[in-house]
Structure 1
Amino acid sequence: MKNTSNNPQRGQAIVLGASIGGLMVARALSNHFDSVTIIEKDKVERQPSTRKGQAHTRHLHGLLPGGLNAMLHYFPDLQDALAAHGANVCDFAKDMVWYTYGGYRQRFDMNLIGATMSRPLLEHLVRERVLATPNIELMDNTAVKSLIASDDQQRVKGVHIELAELGKSMDLHADLVVDVTGRGSRSAQWLRDLGFEAPETSEVKVNVSYATRVYKRDLNDPRSSNWMLYTPQAPQEMHFAGMFPIEGDRWIMTVGGWHGANAGNDEAAFMDFLRKLPMQEYYDIVSKSEPLSDIMTYKFPHSLRRHYEKLQRFPLGYLVLGDAVCSFNPTYGQGMTSASMQAIELDKMLGANIADEKLALTFFARIAKIIDIPWQMAVGEDFRYPATEGPKPAGVDFINKYISRVHRATLKDPVVCDAFLRVMSLLKAPTSLFHPKILWRVMWAG
């Protein structure tokens, strides 16, 4: 693929991490660099599979309309490919069965498409399309040991890597290095090593834990194409549950809760948990379905945000993106969508030929606006629980009171439900829920 930039320095780019965020960044960079190399510490199979460093991929995942739209920007055939591989591509609102605040949200034709599938399938389909791009290559089973910097320590010029299979180390040089390695990112320490400040961090402790099991799906059941969700009325309720149809005629069922309210990891406790949920569809379906996996557990102690947007200095030739900047409570399902939107923003900025010395700080300021929305939504919901710890956004209690009324209104009013789902999908800002038309309907419904 021809370099579309007029900047002669844009020869080689390196992306650290081959998960969804890293793949999307690599595809964005391929529009502006002669070659892009993705470096992944784990072995990558050219088929749907969970890597060693991806424990969370075995659990419930869905692709919000905002995330699907972002991916279709680069891969127009992805929706058809998902459907062809057995994923559930659906009308987001028409096919939902979502119980919350004592009732079911209104179902209606929304004309927005979402998808439910296993995370390994989605990542495989995206990865194959990325690696089919002529100027992108993948180096897997390769560990990044450190950054390579200029003599004055002001520019990142590449990475020092260790190739596990060959048992040797080497330097790989680049004009731009982008860290998309997730919440375990070492960028903060690498910045200190170069004499730069590390970003401030915000941690919101939620102590979320959950358990997942996969079941055979009966295609004759009229509910077999519905995605089902139960979210609690906090703080009285602390549990959540989701069951999505995925490829291979399977259900994936995840249940859990906040602050230690979990389902356990044995079958008796798991089934007892389902039996006690106010949404009876889960127990009804699961009790008649064949289990296809063990019960898998996962713990998420806290949401984490690194405030790169507050830094005044940053090395040239280096960026950080995705979960390496902000890792949200996964129960809200916004991480893949946020990372994809950040990749598109980077693509736009590179296309605008922003000066090298301004690129990083401008980029962090712009993606902070993308991150603000899901962060405020997730943290706001989490602070409904008194046990949640961390920096609490100003006015969150007042906003939560109104959002509680929004939740109740969605049970009756499809217009309010439409507005809420667009915010949840990162297609609209939360302020849209305060539009006079929506505000009036929320108050009337209450």
Structure 2
Amino acid sequence: MTDQTLRSASAPSNGHAVVVGAGIAGLVAAQALAGTFARITVIDRDTLPAEPGPRRGVPQSRQVHGLLGGGASALEELFPGFQDELVAAGGALGDGQVDHHWFLDGFRLRTAPSDIPGYGASRPLIESVLRNRVAALPGVRITDDIEVVGLAADGPDRVAGVRVTERRADAQETVLSADLVVDASGRGSRAGVWLSGMGHPQPEESTVRIDLVYVTRHYAKRPELLGGRRLGVSVVPSPALPRMGVVMPEEGDRYALLLAGMFGEEPPTDDAGMLEYARSLASPEVAAVIESATPLDEPARMRFPAGVRKHYEKLKHHPEGFVVMGDALCSFNPAYGQGMTVAAMEGVLLRRLLSEGTAQLPGRFFRAAAKLVDTPWALATGGDLRFPQVEGKRPPGDKLINKYLERYRAAASVDPGLAATFLRVANLIEPPGRLLHPANVLRVLRYAPKATQAAQAAHAARHDPAPAHEAE
């Protein structure tokens, strides 16, 4: 089909779209749809809070969330002024290389001024800012306490709406008709089951099991902690120590502190246990927060067994009027903070495809979204497959690449340019291939030995007993 044909098949001005889920993916979907459909209904099974706060249907909303630079750019494109609104609502903004310390394989990335944005805000605050913007759009209605129980079909090849029921004992099932349904209901999506009810096969899945357990607790800010930096600190798990620690500022003059572990390394939830766990990390700043800051709530624990990618793009037939996005399409290891960012980038993609017309939208979206997801999925699974406990096929040259990246992480603790490139790739601002640029390879070869020797000397100084005359 030509571009001209696609444009001529645009949605009618009185078209109606339904979005399942009022989380981040659902809200960016609604914003993307607003330029095409006159009416948009966003449905959520939760009671949506009037003020920012966690909710039952998003259990991970109590946990630390990271908004990557690529996601912030996508949200700013979809919601002009988003960054200013987030800061005005209490979020923090800083230089992602200066104001946040990153520890990779025990090495701290070298700090230097950069153009990499870093954010500190809770998931509920980000969601609240976006929900207020979407709710103000003409023709948009956000409804809560309603459950989508299935799709309404117009034959086997077209979705014509959703079957819904209010969340009360005597509620009756009704049909909400729509020209397009977007499933943004998260990891618990029933889209595959719904499609199988129409006679379509469920999509293939790629799964990478990581057995991640993480705990988040909030603490009152203290000016002397984190060296006075605007943002925080992240200690990324490695095969040598599959533990993680993060401290990030949030609204309400508080820190969100996360401890995580993989493959049986489960962080405790008692004060003494959390402190001991934090002291095993490369950065002492995580333990310093637990030791000296006042806790504001009880620890919240969550398990994430595996990253799952659903390959809708591989289905031979896609019924018209139905697309899937966000965690319902691909859920990532949360240690990499990619979920909100990828959802926002999919929103930008959806708006672009809609500007070309609605004909064959599902097939076009799933194919383009697969290409979009390829990079963050490769980054996440590549990091996961470093761990010998993770089952999965390693790509050709995997050992060689991992050896180079180990040296890269070490060299990036000396060379700020290497550190900046690493952060741009991790923030989905630049492609992973930048790490292998010849100039970067030469710098890795130059600085990695120096960084490794310095780390070995520092380790020896910490663990070798001082001579008696020095101890006096």
TM-score, normalised to structure 2, is 0.90
d(CA) in 2 for partners of 1:110 and 1:300? 33
Q: 1:99-155 CA deviation, whole Å, 9 max, x = no partner?
A: 2233311111112322111111111111111111112111111001110101x3110
Q: Say if 2:345 is the partner of 1:338.
A: no
Q: Is the 8 A contact 2:186 2:328 kept in 1?
A: yes
CA distance in 2, matches of 1:363, 1:200: 17
Match of 1:409 in 2: 411
- Report 1:29-428 matches (<5 A): 29-150=33-154, 152-165=155-168, 167-221=171-225, 222-232=227-237, 234-353=238-357, 356=359, 358-428=360-430
Secondary structure of 1:349's partner?
helix
* Cα deviation digits, residues 338-372 of structure 1 (max 9, x gap): 01101110100110125x2x321221111111111
SS of the residue corresponding to residue 269 of structure 1 reads helix
Q: 1:250 to 1:117 in 2, by over 3 A?
A: same
Q: Distance in 1 between matches of 2:134 and 2:413?
A: 41
Q: Is the 8 A contact 2:93 2:231 kept in 1?
A: no
Distance 2:207 2:90 in 1: 38
The alpha carbon displacement at 1:279 in A equals 1.1
Task: Pick closer, same or farther for the CA change 1:53–1:7 going to 2, 3 Å.
Answer: closer
Whole-angstrom distance in 1 between the partners of 2:71 and 2:177: 32
- What do the CA deviations read for 1:301-343 (whole angstroms, capped 9, x no partner)? 0000101111111111110111111000001001100011011
Structure-2 separation of matches of 1:137 and 1:441: 54
Kept in 2: contact 1:93–1:107 (CA 8 A): yes
* Cα distance in structure 1, aligned partners of 2:401 and 2:327: 26
How has the CA–CA distance of structure 1 residues 375 and 180 changed in structure 2, closer, same or farther, with 3 Å as cutoff? same
Q: Distance in 2 between matches of 1:219 and 1:263?
A: 26
What is the DSSP-based 3-state SS (H/G/I as helix, E as strand, rest coil) of the residue aligned with 2:113? coil
Shift in Å at residue 393 of structure 1? 4.1
- The Cα shift of 1:223 comes to 2.5
Measured in 2, the distance between the counterparts of 1:285 and 1:5 equals 57
Deviation at 1:391, TM superposition (A): 4.5
Amino acid at match of 1:440: L
Q: What displacement does 1:245 show?
A: 0.9
2-structure distance, mates of 1:21, 1:396? 33
Give the Cα separation in 2 of the matches to 1:193 and 1:88.
Answer: 46
User: Counterpart of 2:228 in 1: which secondary structure?
Assistant: coil
Q: Is the 8 A contact 2:205 2:311 kept in 1?
A: yes
| SS of equivalent to 1:62 | coil
Structure 2 SS opposite 1:63? coil
Letter in 1 for 2:156: Q
Contact between 1:208 and 1:299, CA under 8 Å: does it hold in 2?
yes
CA contact (8 A) 1:213 1:293 kept: yes
The CA distance in 2 between the partners of 1:39 and 1:395, in whole Å, is 46
Query: Could you say what secondary structure the match of 2:48 adopts?
Result: coil
How far residue 169 of structure 1 moved from its aligned partner, in angstroms, is: 2.4
List per-residue Cα deviations over 1:61-87 (Å, max 9, x = no partner). 121111111111122222122222221
Q: Is the 8 A contact 1:267 1:295 kept in 2?
A: no
Amino acid at match of 2:367: A
Alignment TM-score, normalising by the size of structure 1: 0.95
Change (3 A) 1:5 1:252: farther
Secondary structure at the aligned position of 2:258 is classed as strand
Write the distance in 2 (CA, Å) between the matches of 1:435 and 1:403. Answer: 13
- Tell me, what secondary structure is at the counterpart of 2:210? strand
Q: In the comparison of the two structures, how many residue pairs are matched? A: 439
Distance 1:158 1:127, change over 3 A: same
Letter aligned with residue 402 of structure 2 = N
- The answer on 1:20 being equivalent to 2:24 is yes
Alignment partners' CA distance in 2, 1:214 and 1:170: 42
Q: Deviations over 1:19-65 (max 9, x none)?
A: 00110000000111011110101111121011111111111112111
C-alpha distance in 2 between matches for 1:393 and 1:127? 41
Q: What is the aligned-residue RMSD (CA, Å)?
A: 1.7
**Other structure's SS at 1:168 match:** coil
Identity of aligned residues (%): 37
Aligned 8 A contact 2:120 2:231 in 1: no
Instruction: Output the CA distance in 2 between the equivalents of 1:112 and 1:5.
Output: 40
Instruction: Work out the CA distance in 2 between the residues paired with 1:160 and 1:9.
Output: 24
CA offset at residue 6 of structure 1?
Answer: 4.7
